[in-house]
Amino acid sequence: MSAPTPPSSPRIRSARGSLVVAIDGPAASGKSSTAQWVAQRLGFRHVDSGALYRAATAVAIARAGEEFDEATVLSGLDEISLRPAQHSFMPIWKRGEMEELIRAPEVTRNVSRVAQMEGVRKWVNVHVREAAQGRDVVVDGRDIGTVVFPDADLKVFLIADPWERARRRLTQRHGRGPTDAEIADETERLVQRDAKDATQTVQAKDAILIDTTYLTQAEQVERIVSLARVFRDDASADGSGERG
Ligand code: CDP
């Protein structure tokens, strides 16, 4: 007996049978939280590629401190796996959850360096593609629409003013409104990380650009869900959409 479709879930289906929504953008543009909400609304699974880069970094730091080298990072990858959760996948290290560990400031400080390592990029891409195999997914990162899923059904590139991104990130982290001085410091850190991540942060030619500076989180989620619905209508019109 199949589970009933939740009322909020648009019934969309691409010609290949499963659907990929790619959400890319710079640091703290709201990709992960937006992707999580969009996945829930659509009844899809969320795959956070940044969480895997962070997991690789966290394990390297645990083994060798912040002075870790590439060999340390690569030899730690085998200890990390992705465990399916209800609407997402969680990185696991030696059977332990890593959610808190991967958000530590020393991980954020070092993750861009790890993300430049070719072996790490290959490892992340294998895990992300495996997680997406045969299921409908919302995948977020920086190169999802260009490298990981160049044939994604829907590609979105999120941007926002750096000051606003810094303000949101601090509010999320501390649960209170930050001061202007705190926002200025965080903006500096974000802009530096953007520069380090610039090579892989590429907007695909066929991605839809959404500037979220003046949007609420609920509004940006709604826009992407609506875009997915447009896709559903197109798929039905050419006969490849799901019936019913
Ligand atoms: O949420 P935030 O934008 O702070 O970062 P994240 O999505 O958790 O990604 C952490 C880091 O992983 C980024 O700063 C990039 O260095 C790297 N990354 C990447 O290179 N390619 C991706 N597809 C995703 C993340």
- Tell how far the Cα of 50 is from the centroid of ligand 1, in angstroms: 4
CB 57 within 8 A of CB 114: yes
Domain ranges in the chain? Answer: 13-44+138-232, 46-135
Residues 209, 203: Cα–Cα separation, whole Å: 8
How far is the CA of 189 from the CAs of 39, 105, 162, 194, 241, in angstroms?
A: 29, 11, 10, 9, 44
Instruction: Give helix 217-237 / helix 31-42 axis angle, nearest 10°.
Output: 50
Q: How many CA atoms lie within 13 A of 124 on its CB side?
A: 29
Q: b/e for 5-44, b at 16 or more Cβ within 10 A?
A: eeeeebebbbeeeebbbbbbbbbbbbbbbbbbbbbbbbbb
Q: Ligand 1 site: residues with CB under 6 angstroms?
A: 27-28, 32, 49-50, 53-54, 111-112, 115, 141-144, 193, 197, 200
The domain over range 46-135 is classified in CATH as 3.40.50.300: yes
Residue with CA nearest ligand 1 atom 18: 50
Residues 96, 80: Cα–Cα separation, whole Å: 10
Residue 237, pLDDT score: 55
Q: How many residues does the chain have?
A: 244
Instruction: Locate the ligand 1 atom nearest the alpha carbon of residue 51 and give its number.
Output: 8
Residue 228, pLDDT score: 86
Same fold, 13-44+138-232 and 46-135: yes
Residue 65: left if φ>0, alpha if ψ -120 to 50, beta else—which one? left
Task: Count the neighbouring beta carbons within 10 Å of the beta carbon of residue 104.
Answer: 14
DSSP label at residue 26: S
Q: Which of the following CATH numbers is that of domain 13-44+138-232: 3.30.930.10, 3.40.50.300, 3.40.30.10, 3.40.1280.10?
A: 3.40.50.300
- Tell how far the Cα of 187 is from the centroid of ligand 1, in angstroms: 16
Residue with CA nearest ligand 1 atom 6: 50
Question: What is the DSSP pairing of strand 45-48 with strand 137-141?
Answer: parallel
Residue 93's DSSP bridge partners are 80, 96
Q: Walk along the chain (244 residues) and give the pLDDT tens digit of each residue.
A: 344 444 444 444 555 578 999 999 999 898 999 999 999 999 999 999 999 999 999 999 999 999 999 999 999 999 999 999 888 999 999 989 999 999 999 999 999 999 999 999 999 999 999 999 999 999 999 999 999 999 999 999 999 999 999 999 999 888 889 999 999 999 999 999 999 999 989 999 999 999 999 999 999 999 999 998 877 665 555 544 433 2
